[in-house]
């Protein structure tokens, strides 16, 4: 289906950073995609690729006061044979619209979003880094712009996609991280917006993360806000544990995000005939499994890090070391397979890879 | 203490709306206050009053992705003898900084904020409406601007104050509102950010409000996210009930906002020797009190509406009418006294009114 996406090319291309200086979300490409929503003009209009540029917002724009916003994250890879591919992008557009519904925001045409992304990436394809572990991070985001201070959903929005060449998420490679199990702060609770990818969830999580980092831990493990004992997420990732040969991850309970990497890991495990369960997992169960020697591996999953092995939990001053603090065998296999499928180096039996410009 | 606040006056003054067209947060004055925070430049700098104008933001600015933001609300009044006064503004600056601490944002100098506000209001004092029920609404807000996509607190912020002439909050006067008691959605939970005045809380609350409005109710009464039975807030207001001659309001439990109107109402009641208690209140207790005839009055409190009488609760299809659906005697007395102190028509034994430019 053809949409009228206009393209205005930049007159001044930026210089590209060296692959070893990329980091995460520090550099942006030459162009961006932008589209307006105005209820008074019939909805979404003026989809366009334009030079990367500042946005002009009225100081009363609702995003600045009432936080109505949704974002997504995905990665584009340059394959060895020179093609460009994305990983399950349709899932991101589906989730974007689920988040929109929760935040009282108007849905986006998923085909148009996909076409917009393809146009933008093709325009900026020279920015896709090719070194091991690098990719072009894609950040679609939508936010409220109507300049009214009444607390009600906005009648005007911007949908924007920006691109950022990124290095490996953890500079040191996929070494296991140390985790602080959070007892004071809560990320989200069922009935809230924890299952939507909205800005406020991330702002709310920063305090615990900063305090944990100050104590030398890499990330926070979130417990549920009701019983304060069931595992929710780790940092901004979903989390998996291998206990006695079986892989478990918290069930979607209304307060955790429905991760696309989470879903892919479960499909991969089933494909390998590794038993996997979605269910409630208490922090006590993990400590008990550790005591009886059945807690074998643990890892977080998310678009940015893909797979992040967990080496250590710390809960009420009791340290729990997982797998001798080394990356588990299954964790490594998942990481290698998923990143391999993502960058086109490993066969994709699931049809997850989507080639662009084909 | 003298701060170097510069003032740039507009060359083109806007025309002012008629008093009966004001509404809430629809019109803005000719000027705004703005100040930058950059960690790399030693913190807050360049405080200035400038013509009201759009803000330029990088598309990667953290507010648009991770929601780090705090706001406040207060009102300025023109008294009958021509003076300008605010209501307990120091409490707003204190709360702003409490919210900042929760959101990992750098504190603002409260004296500077107060001086900035005074300068701005004096520049735009012609905008203070004088009709009954009108005022100049003051909106200070602070948000993250650093253009980095890593999830971590920003090292750059903007602090802005805008002013909006507003009419009476409820166009129909202070008639009692009808309330939907919310059983599905949750506003906040202890350990989260419900006690901070941050954007994400308001985005999270919109869905329930829209659904309730669709059923013909004015506002939502929020229950706690853990037991789903204790009263939290009503809409974005604190809430009070008069039961058997005693006034009760939910205790500050970590998930509700510490309202300045809430505190003022409690002080006023104590001044009048009306018993007032901060404690947990279950929805069952309200229905039970209604059955035995002791539920006498109910009202919400907040800066925008000041006092909003509640005429009716609806919980699981069971309607509870309070005080025959009419505004209670005590509720009216509180409203008249508080708004009288705020606009300078009633004696202020508390020292709450702060005159500007004196």
Per-residue pLDDT at B3: 62
- Cβ of residue B170 closer than 8 Å to a chain A Cβ: no
Query: Which residue, B220, B201, B199, is CA-closest to B283?
Result: B220
Q: What are phi and psi of A89, to 5 degrees?
A: -60, -30
Question: Could you tell me if residue A352 is inside a domain?
Answer: no
Say if residue B276 is in the same domain as residue B332.
Answer: yes
| Inter-chain CB proximity B58 and A57 less than 8 Å | no
Say if residue B157 is in the same domain as residue B229.
Answer: no
| Inter-chain CB proximity A200 and B54 less than 8 Å | no
Per-residue pLDDT at B171: 65
- Cβ of residue A199 closer than 8 Å to a chain B Cβ: yes
> What's the domain count of chain A?
2
User: Tokens standing for A148?
Assistant: 């009214």
Where do the H-state alpha helices sit in A14-76? Answer: 63-66
Task: Tell me the pLDDT tens digit for each residue of B126-171.
Answer: 999 999 889 999 999 999 999 999 999 999 999 999 999 999 776 6
Per-residue pLDDT at B233: 97
Contact (CB, 8 A) for B119 and B93: no
Question: Could you tell me if residue A349 is inside a domain?
Answer: no
State the smallest CA–CA distance between residue A271 and chain B in angstroms. 33
Residues 12-31 of chain A with CB under 8 A from chain B are 23-26, 28
Taking only Cα atoms into account, the Rg of chain A, rounded to an integer number of angstroms, comes to 21
Say if residue A103 is in the same domain as residue A159.
Answer: yes
Per-residue pLDDT at A1: 44
Q: Rounded to whole angstroms, what are the CA distances from B235 to A287, B67, B219?
A: 41, 21, 5
Number of H helices, E strands in chain B: 7, 19
- Cβ of residue B274 closer than 8 Å to a chain A Cβ: no
Torsion from C-alpha of A206, A208, A214, A218, nearest 10 degrees: -80
How far, in Å, CA of A353 to CA of A264, rounded?
A: 12
Residues 319-348 of chain A with CB under 8 A from chain B are none
Q: Of A57, A200, A228, which is closest to B204 when you measure between CB atoms?
A: A200
- CATH number, residue A201: 3.20.10.10
Contact (CB, 8 A) for B118 and B7: no
Torsion from C-alpha of B274, B278, B282, B285, nearest 10 degrees: -20
Which residue positions in chain B have pLDDT lower than 70? 1-3, 170-172, 358
Contact (CB, 8 A) for A328 and A297: yes
Task: Tell me the pLDDT tens digit for each residue of B45-77.
Answer: 999 999 999 999 999 999 999 999 999 999 999
- Cβ of residue A172 closer than 8 Å to a chain B Cβ: no
How far, in Å, CA of A180 to CA of A205, rounded?
A: 13
How far, in Å, CA of B114 to CA of B140, rounded?
A: 11
| Inter-chain CB proximity B189 and A186 less than 8 Å | yes
- Cβ of residue B33 closer than 8 Å to a chain A Cβ: no
Contact (CB, 8 A) for B52 and B29: yes
State the smallest CA–CA distance between residue A102 and chain B in angstroms. 6
Say if residue A128 is in the same domain as residue A153.
Answer: yes
Domain-ending residue, one of B134, B166, B198: B166
Say if residue B123 is in the same domain as residue B144.
Answer: yes
| CA angle centred on B327, ends B324 and B332, rounded to 5° | 150
Which residue positions in chain A have pLDDT lower than 50? 1
- CATH number, residue A152: 3.30.470.10
3-class SS of residue A150? coil
- Cβ of residue A190 closer than 8 Å to a chain B Cβ: yes
Give contacts of B72 with chain A, Cβ < 8 Å. none
| Inter-chain CB proximity B153 and A202 less than 8 Å | no
Question: Could you tell me if residue A350 is inside a domain?
Answer: no
- Cβ of residue A50 closer than 8 Å to a chain B Cβ: no
- Cβ of residue A193 closer than 8 Å to a chain B Cβ: yes
3-class SS of residue A321? strand
Say if residue B23 is in the same domain as residue B146.
Answer: yes
| Inter-chain CB proximity B226 and A189 less than 8 Å | yes
| Inter-chain CB proximity A151 and B236 less than 8 Å | yes
Say if residue A302 is in the same domain as residue A236.
Answer: yes
Report ipTM for this prediction. 0.97
Q: Of B32, B65, B147, which is closest to A71 when you measure between CB atoms?
A: B65
Query: Which residue, A221, A163, A204, A131, is CA-closest to A30?
Result: A163
Say if residue A302 is in the same domain as residue A321.
Answer: yes
Question: Could you tell me if residue A356 is inside a domain?
Answer: no
How far, in Å, CA of A199 to CA of A66, rounded?
A: 11
Say if residue B140 is in the same domain as residue B27.
Answer: yes
Q: For residue A20, how many other CB atoms are within 10 A of its CB?
A: 11
Question: Could you tell me if residue A193 is inside a domain?
Answer: yes
Question: Could you tell me if residue B356 is inside a domain?
Answer: no
Give contacts of B226 with chain A, Cβ < 8 Å. 189, 225-226
Contact (CB, 8 A) for B128 and B78: yes
Q: For residue B234, how many other CB atoms are within 10 A of its CB?
A: 26
Q: N- to C-terminal Cα distance for chain A?
A: 15
Question: Could you tell me if residue A311 is inside a domain?
Answer: yes
How far, in Å, CA of A95 to CA of A114, rounded?
A: 13
User: Tokens standing for A217?
Assistant: 């831990």
SS3 sequence of B17-76: CCHHHCCCCCCCCCEEEEEEEEHHHCEEEEEEEEECCCEEECCCCHHHHHCCEEECCEEE
CA–centroid distance for A19 within its chain: 22
Question: Could you tell me if residue A218 is inside a domain?
Answer: yes
User: Tokens standing for B65?
Assistant: 């992705």
Say if residue B22 is in the same domain as residue B119.
Answer: yes
Domain-ending residue, one of A125, A141, A166: A166
Give contacts of B308 with chain A, Cβ < 8 Å. none
State the smallest CA–CA distance between residue B302 and chain A in angstroms. 13
Contact (CB, 8 A) for A157 and A106: yes
State the smallest CA–CA distance between residue A211 and chain B in angstroms. 10
Domain-ending residue, one of B111, B132, B166: B166
How far, in Å, CA of B163 to CA of B127, rounded?
A: 9
Say if residue A102 is in the same domain as residue A235.
Answer: no
Q: Of A59, A193, A202, which is closest to B66 when you measure between CB atoms?
A: A202
- Cβ of residue A135 closer than 8 Å to a chain B Cβ: no
Q: N- to C-terminal Cα distance for chain B?
A: 15
Give contacts of A138 with chain B, Cβ < 8 Å. none
Say if residue B117 is in the same domain as residue B247.
Answer: no
> Residue B240 contacts by C-beta under 8 Å, 6 or more apart in sequence?
B247, B248, B249, B262, B265, B298, B299, B300, B301
Give contacts of B152 with chain A, Cβ < 8 Å. 206, 209-210
User: Tokens standing for A167?
Assistant: 């290095």
Contact (CB, 8 A) for B60 and B45: no
Q: Of A23, A66, A206, which is closest to B199 when you measure between CB atoms?
A: A66
Range(s) of the domain holding residue B29: 6-166
- Cβ of residue B189 closer than 8 Å to a chain A Cβ: yes
């Amino acid at each position: 289906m053809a949409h009228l996406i206009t393209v205005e090319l930049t007159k001044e291309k930026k210089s590209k950073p060296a692959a070893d200086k990329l980091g995460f979300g520090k550099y942006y490409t030459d162009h961006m995609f932008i589209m307006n929503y105005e209820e008074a003009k019939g909805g979404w209009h003026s989809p366009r690729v334009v030079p990367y540029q500042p946005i002009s917002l009225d100081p009363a724009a609702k995003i600045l006061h009432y936080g109505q916003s949704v974002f997504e994250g995905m990665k584009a890879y340059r394959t060895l044979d020179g093609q460009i591919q994305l990983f399950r992008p349709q899932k991101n557009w589906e989730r974007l619209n689920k988040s929109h519904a929760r935040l009282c925001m108007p849905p986006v045409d998923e085909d148009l979003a996909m076409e917009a992304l393809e146009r933008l990436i093709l325009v900026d394809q020279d920015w896709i880094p090719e070194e091991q572990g690098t990719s072009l991070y894609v950040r679609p985001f939508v936010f409220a712009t109507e300049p009214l201070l009444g607390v009600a959903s906005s009648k005007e929005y911007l949908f924007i996609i920006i691109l950022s060449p990124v290095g490996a998420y953890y500079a040191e490679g996929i070494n296991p991280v140390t985790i602080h199990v959070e007892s004071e702060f809560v990320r989200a609770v069922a009935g809230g917006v924890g299952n939507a990818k909205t800005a406020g969830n991330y702002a709310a999580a920063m305090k615990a993360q900063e305090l944990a980092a100050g104590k030398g831990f890499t990330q926070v493990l979130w417990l549920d806000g009701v019983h304060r004992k069931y595992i929710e997420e780790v940092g901004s990732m979903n989390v998996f544990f291998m206990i006695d040969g079986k892989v478990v991850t918290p069930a979607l309970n209304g307060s955790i995000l429905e991760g696309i990497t989470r879903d892919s890991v479960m499909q991969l495990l089933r494909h390998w005939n590794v038993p996997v369960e979605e269910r409630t997992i208490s922090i006590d169960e993990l400590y008990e499994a550790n005591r009886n020697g059945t807690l074998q591996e643990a890892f977080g999953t998310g678009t940015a890090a893909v797979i992040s092995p967990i080496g250590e939990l710390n809960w009420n001053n009791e340290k729990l070391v997982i797998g001798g603090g080394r990356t588990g065998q299954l964790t490594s296999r998942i990481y290698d397979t998923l990143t391999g499928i993502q960058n086109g180096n490993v066969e994709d039996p699931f049809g997850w890879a989507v080639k662009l410009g084909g």
